[in-house]
Amino acid sequence: MSPLPEAELVRSSLQLYRYLLRCCRRLPQGPVQQHYRHAIRQSFKVHADEDDPERIQQIIKRAIEDADWVMNK
């Protein structure tokens, strides 16, 4: 399983949040999906006050790489 094709279109934190939740829908239903949905929400809340554009892009890049890893796992 690979991440969704629109990964290259993610430019903002809100787009990332939506993208990750869509990726999560492709995981098996049950505890695994619930775990990752919770982790996505928590990470979004933790980084909500980030205002450095360079840091935001680093977070987006890393989150997409992590989603790729999870989807291939």
Within-domain flag for 3: no
- What is d(CA 58, CA 52) in angstroms, rounded to the nearest whole number? 10
Q: Does 2 map to a domain?
A: no
Tell me the pLDDT tens digit for each residue of 9-68: 788 888 999 999 999 999 999 999 999 999 999 999 999 899 999 999 999 999 999 988
1 lies in a domain? no
How many structural domains is the chain composed of?
1
Q: What pLDDT is stored for residue 5 in this prediction? A: 67
How confident is residue 1, by pLDDT bands cut at 50, 70 and 90?
A: very low
Instruction: Look at residue 28 and tell me if it is in a domain.
Output: yes
Q: What pTM value is reported for the model? A: 0.81
Question: Would you say 3 and 67 are in contact if contact means Cβ atoms under 8 Å apart?
Answer: yes
Would residue 4 count as lying in a domain?
Answer: no
Find the domain containing 50 and state its range.
10-72
Q: Is residue 32 part of a domain?
A: yes
